Amino acid sequence: MNPISTMLRSLAGQGHAPAQNNLGAMYAKGEGVPQDWAEAVTWFWRAVL
């Protein structure tokens, strides 16, 4: 993982919806993290709820 994904994961874990959405997008595109559609969907859903 790169520093940006580490920071986003920390914020996302605290419930920050924009960070959750951005982390989902990173997983969907495989930018800075391995591409993982299931992980992307998980983060997108957390951002919505």
Structure confidence by residue, pLDDT tens digits, 10-26: 999 999 999 999 999 99
Cα–Cα distance, 1 to 47 (Å, whole number): 21
Instruction: Report pTM.
Output: 0.90
With CA atoms as reference, report the closest residue to 42 among 31, 14, 27, 32.
Answer: 27
Residue 2 has pLDDT above 90, yes or no: no
Cα–Cα distance, 11 to 18 (Å, whole number): 9
What is the 3-class SS of the chain, one letter each residue?
A: CCHHHHHHHHHHHCCCHHHHHHHHHHHHHCCCCCCCHHHHHHHHHHHHC
Question: Domains of the chain: which residue ranges?
Answer: 3-48
